[in-house]
């Protein structure tokens, strides 16, 4: 299965779905964007491209110290569920299992 979804973290609270779409439109055709609160100071976005090339381009063009997690669609669903569980239970950092986590790659900040 091809990777089509990227997770963008550390987004400014002022960034809108439109901003994210505009920024990533240079990488490829976007199917949809899902945004969620992350911390009091940031939010995250899941950007799903119509094809894997868009997701790959987004990762290649993002060269900062922040993380972007690239996940296949099935992994994305699990990642969203896991995020909701961790966020709601407020489990301590470092207690997450590495078993089913997608590998982090270099990413970007908006």
39-75 residue pLDDT tens: 999 899 999 999 999 988 888 877 655 554 444 455 5
pTM over the 0.75 mark = no
Pick among 3.30.70.330, 3.30.460.80, 2.60.40.1730, 2.40.10.10: CATH of 5-107: 3.30.70.330
pLDDT at 80: 54
11 or 67, greater pLDDT: 11
Task: Give the count of alpha carbons within 13 A of 63, CB side only.
Answer: 3
Q: Residues 6 or more apart from 66 whose CB is under 8 A from it? A: 9, 10, 107, 108, 109
Residue 33 has pLDDT above 60, yes or no: yes
Taking residues 21-25, what's their average pLDDT? Answer: 91
Q: Is the pLDDT of residue 110 over 60?
A: no
Query: Residue holding tokens 């994305």?
Result: 76
pLDDT at 56: 87
Tokens representing residue 60 in the block = 């290649």
Q: Which residues are bridge partners to 69 per DSSP?
A: 7, 104
* Domain parsing of the chain, residue ranges: 5-107
Q: 74-106, pLDDT tens digit by residue?
A: 555 555 555 444 444 444 444 444 444 444 443
Q: Is-contact 10 109, C-beta < 8 A? A: yes
Q: Is the pLDDT reported for residue 36 higher than 90?
A: yes
How big, in percent rounded to 5, are the helix, strand and coil portions of the chain? 30, 35, 35
- At 30 the pLDDT is 96
Cα dist from 87 to 23, 27, 110, whole Å: 27, 30, 22
Interatomic CA distance for residues 62 and 97, integer angstroms: 26
């Amino acid at each position: 299965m091809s990777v089509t979804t990227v997770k963008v973290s550390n987004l400014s609270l002022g960034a809108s779905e439109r901003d994210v779409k505009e920024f990533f439109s240079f990488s490829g055709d976007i199917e949809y964007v899902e945004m969620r609160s992350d911390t009091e100071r940031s939010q995250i976005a899941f950007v799903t491209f119509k094809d894997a090339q868009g997701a790959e381009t987004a990762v290649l063009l993002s060269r900062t110290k922040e993380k972007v997690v690239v996940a296949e669609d099935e992994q994305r669903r699990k990642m969203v569920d896991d995020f909701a569980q961790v966020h709601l239970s407020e489990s301590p950092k470092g207690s997450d299992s590495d078993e089913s986590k997608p590998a982090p790659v270099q990413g970007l900040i908006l």
